[in-house]
Chain A
Amino acid sequence: MAGEDAEPGDNRRPRSVYGVGTEPDARFSLANERTALAWVRTGVGLVAGGVALTSFSTFADLPGLVDLVAAVACLVGASCATYALVSWRRNERALRRREPLPAPGGLPVLVVGVVLLAVLIAAYAVAAGLGAAASLP
């Protein structure tokens, strides 16, 4: 692993990335950094959405299902942030070895997760709306 084509004097961490290949164009590394940051921001957005949902549910006295959805949103956000590190590492390795970039495997998972969250919240909204309509005189 480490040592193949590693540049002398380069002691940056992680060694699994900087110990292989040669230095790529700094612009490519910067683009990789921005992509990782975009994943972090996606995670932050999900976490903030979950926090907003659970605080709203506390104040409006909504059922526990909403809190559960909020917890799932927080955990999915945490996974997005972790994926940022994983994908940065994979992409930087590929850049250093002049290999094609790996496919963004987290993207379909994220899309499915966001669609699921949206469907859950929409289903809850419809059920609550129907319940409120039925209780009208």
Chain B
Amino acid sequence: MTPPEGARPGERPSPPERDEGLQPERTALAWQRTVLGVVVGALLLAASGLRAGNGAVVWAAGVVAVLTLVPSVLRPPDGRLPSHGRLYAWSFLVRVVGLVLALAVVGAAWALSQAFGGP
């Protein structure tokens, strides 16, 4: 998934091994499910905002959907162990969690504005 920037000089990276437990594939699928879930959630929010005529909600949800989808299309998980044996999960996790938080904040703000007599 990522370039072997941490590989030591002079060390030839061995070809990626296949894991008999298919762990990389399962992890790649878990990523796909998560991305799909975030996109579906964002589309649900966008559709509700559209129906209620709330343009800000539609825009926010659309931005979340695009920001979630684009990286996973540009660099899809390939289901192999990285040749250098080092995984880079943190930045991807932080990004997805940030997008979920954005979705949650927009949803909660909308719900609260409805609860307390907003438009």
Contact = CB atoms under 8 A, between A and B. Distances in A.
Interface of A: 8-14, 17, 23, 26-27, 29-34, 36-38, 40-41, 43-45, 47-48, 50-55, 57-59, 64-65, 67-68, 70-71, 74-75, 77-78, 81-82, 84-85, 88
Given A54-B114, A85-B97, A44 B91 contact: no
A51 B26 CA distance: 29
Given A38-B30, A40-B34, A48-B41, A26 B114 contact: no
Contact of B89 (A27, A33, A65): A33
A contact patch SS: helix
Given A50-B107, A78-B104, A9 B8 contact: yes
B contact patch SS: helix
Contacts, number: 159
Interface residues of B, number: 51
Contacts of B21: 27
